[in-house]
Amino acid sequence: MATDATAALAAPKLTTLLVVVSDGNVLLGEKKRGFGAGLWNGFGGKVDLGIDASVEHAALRELREECGIDALDATRRGVLTFHYADAPNPMETHVFHASAFEGTVAESDEMRPAWFPEDAIPLEKMWPDDEHWYPAFLRGEKFVGTFWFDREKKITRHELEVVETLPARADGL
């Protein structure tokens, strides 16, 4: 049985990723700083257990902070686990889809947003796992995946499954 210490060591870092798709266009942001700087991605960040009542709240908060809009119909569509060779704990990223939003898209300190046609997202400037799961995401499917990266952030192994129902989180978040 895992002790508290070993459980903490293996505990995944919980993060969110929210991708708005509206009228055939996908809203992405170029990350200006921090983890993944220079790459285009959906909007998201760490779940903050001090302020977020749920993973969905964290996803909505990060979207608002990073590009100034409020998603009105966010739904959780994927759970991705990333193992980075140089990180002690895996990252568990909950991927949300939204199509309706309020507010005006605006650049922030963290992200430079831009719209891309669904069939022309800049995969060559995105995380290498994205080409594996965006097609399922854009088809409206739910998915669970795990990706292992080497120190150069290249994928060494991956698993990806389209599912009917996403796994519930044991902690209720």
Ligand X SMILES: Nc1[nH]c(=O)nc2c1ncn2[C@H]1C[C@H](O)[C@@H](COP(=O)(O)OP(=O)(O)OP(=O)(O)O)O1
d(CA 161, CA 159): 7
Contact between 93 and ligand X per CB under 6 A? yes
d(CA 30, CA 166): 28
Q: Which residue's Cβ lies closest to ligand X? A: 45
Q: How far is the CB of 43 from ligand X (least distance, A)?
A: 7
d(CA 122, CA 116): 8
d(CA 74, CA 144): 18
Strand ranges inside 53-90, DSSP E: 70-71, 75-84
Three-class SS of residue 58? helix
Question: Which range of residues in 11-19, 68-76, 114-122, 160-168 is near ligand X by CB under 6 A?
Answer: 11-19
Question: Which range of residues in 3-11, 31-39, 136-144, 157-165 is near ligand X by CB under 6 A?
Answer: 31-39
Contact between 83 and ligand X per CB under 6 A? no
Contact between 130 and ligand X per CB under 6 A? yes
Task: Please identify which residue in 55, 129, 142, 143 interacts with ligand X, judged by CB under 6 A.
Answer: 129
Contact residues: ligand X, CB under 6 A: 15-17, 34-36, 41, 44-46, 82, 91, 93, 110, 127, 129-130
